[in-house]
Copies of this chain bind each other. A is one copy, B any other.
Amino acid sequence: MMVVKAGGGKGIHYEAVCDEIAALQQRGEQPILVHGGSHLTNELAEALGHNPHFVTSPSGFTSRFTDPQTMGIFMMAYCGKTNKQIVEGLQQRGINAIGLSGIDGKLWVGKQKSAIRVVENGKTRILRGNLTGKVESVNTDLLNSLLQSGFLPVLCPPAMTSEGVAINVDGDRAAAITATAMQADQLVILSNVPGVMKDITQPSSRISEIRRTDLEDISQTFAQGRMKIKLLAAAAAIDGGVKRVVIADARLDNCISRALQGEGTSITA
């Protein structure tokens, strides 16, 4: 069992990801695909005149502030166009994909964090009404039943609270808890960076292997922005029993094969 997370940043080509998923399945793997959609969400929000609003927490994490209108746009980008175009791409490769968001069949249930502390112009303040949170449980019965029937699950945010409210959740961390819950051996996190870099301007500075015990140190020393969250996700997956997490570049040909062969950054216990 392998969970593959394909980011939704600029430059990610889902056709190539579909090719790779098809190749994985032909080699007898039974992957679950989790995808993002942030770049399309930003483009759509701008086109609709509801500009994306990103906020930064006091500890330096950046996230999308999700009001109800943004949630509607988010659903259009993630669950609509991106999810269904990936499902269509897989169907065209003979794979019986089935696309679900975290609110379908209570797939991903978690807690909302409505009020968040944000830093704006150097000052910390509280913002309320944020439809965001964190996945705490995965409906493994649903996923196992789909896998047993020969479907390939294609999953994306939002998740939902136990009261049924849709919440925006981080896709990397949702993929990590899914990998843990499904007892996956490997989690491959693909995005538009080559891995963890000592210097993001120097491709040769990629760190190819990280042990779990060194993860926090390396994150603090080298990781910036979204990479910090990917390393949190990797830590959660390894702590949850996943044997190996690979952070790799989705923009390369044969991106998953390359990731599994050691390109990117490999994290193990």
Contact = CB atoms under 8 A, between A and B. Distances in A.
Contact of A163 (B92, B99, B146, B158): B92
| Interface of A, helix, strand, loop or mixed by DSSP | helix
Given A76-B76, A91-B160, A142-B149, A166 B84 contact: yes
A247 interface: no
A224 interface: no
A219 B166 CA distance: 42
Contact of A104 (B47, B99, B158, B165): B99
B103 A88 contact: yes
Contact of A81 (B75, B92, B151, B164): B75
Given A104-B97, A149-B142, A163-B92, A76 B81 contact: yes
A160 B87 CA distance: 11
A191 to B, nearest CB: 22
A48 interface: yes
B84 A158 contact: yes
B88 A160 contact: yes
A165 B88 contact: yes
Contacts of A48: 47-48
Interface in A130-148: 141-142, 145-146
A85 interface: yes
16 contacts: A47-B48, A48-B48, A77-B80, A78-B80, A79-B83, A84-B158, A87-B104, A88-B103, A88-B165, A91-B160, A92-B165, A97-B105, A99-B101, A99-B103, A100-B104, A105-B146
